[in-house]
Amino acid sequence: MRPFIARPEHGVIWITGASSGIGRALALKLAGEGYKVAVTARSHDKLLELQAEASEQPGSIIVLDGDVTNAEDMEHTVAAIEYQHGPLALAVLNAGIYLPARGEDLNHDVFDRSFAVNLHGVVNCLVPAVRHMRARGHGQVAIVSSAAGYGGLPAGAAYGATKAALINMAESLNFELERMGIHIQLVTPGFVDTPLTGKNKFPMPGSVSAEDAAKSIAAGLKSPGFEITFPKSFTYKAKFLKLLPYSLYFRIIRRIIDGRRPSQASGHHPNPHPAE
């Protein structure tokens, strides 16, 4: 049976973390294709600006304030979509943060905040979304992870761990959700030019704009494939590195990071992580 692929007539698309970056660009892209798009973030003003920008598009933007770290908030958000705006056809779980976690300065706060948003935030949205989709017998879910989840990277003990967990989560859920008629997909971007990566003081190989990322994701959402990854020239190399013995993997990563020492000397710690 062909996987369910959401079309405008099927209902509402919900995008979390839509106030900036990939989420914002994707909301505009899909509204331009005629979809009704519900957007969630903690920044109400930025969501209103997004809504206004999409006012002339064939589709529409619905602003729903909410914090993904609050499970009750997300239950209410999904209920609002279902009972006020139409059936939830597709959930794009995109909200995420990057906080460096370095071995010389480990602390609970970085891990707690990273896991609260990047991992538990996805679960808080996933549970009510899947419940409603299962009742209808069809639906689509896209979990936004990162190529940083393929393997450990310096300063990534918190961020990378959450993204690796999302990869495993999506892979595992695919077995059960497929039987329920719910098409689950995994989004693994490389470097994307967003406010999150704008602070980086080093070259980002294969970096794409948020608009180009949105085009890649929008195209992938219309496909039956499981993984939406881009740019493949970068992400496939990241996948290949993890096939190497650890001794070689660590050596290559250290060599890459050593090439960025000047930015550290100037007081800037490089973030070697693809991020949304």
CA–CA distance from 219 to each of 31, 125, 160, 208, 229 (Å)? 14, 23, 26, 15, 11
In this structure, what token pair is assigned to residue 272? 């070697």
Whether 159 is a known active-site residue: answer yes
What whole-number distance in Å separates Cα of residue 77 and Cα of residue 261?
A: 45
Amino acid at 163: K
The angle at the Cα of 136, spanning 117 to 32, to the nearest 5 degrees, equals: 60
3-class DSSP string for 95-123: CCCCCCECHHHCCHHHHHHHHHHHHHHHH
Q: How many CB atoms lie within 10 A of CB 262?
A: 11
Strand partners, 54: none
Element (H, E) at 202: none
- Residue that is written with structure tokens 């971007």 in the block: 189
DSSP 84: I
Whether 242 is a known active-site residue: answer no
The catalytic residue among 159, 232, 242, 246 is 159
132 burial type by CB count under 10 A (0-12 exposed, 13-18 middle, 19+ buried): middle
The catalytic residue among 163, 201, 232, 249 is 163
DSSP 73: H
Q: How many CB atoms lie within 10 A of CB 72?
A: 10
Helix and strand numbers, DSSP H then E, in the chain = 10, 9
Name the residues annotated as catalytic.
Answer: 159, 163
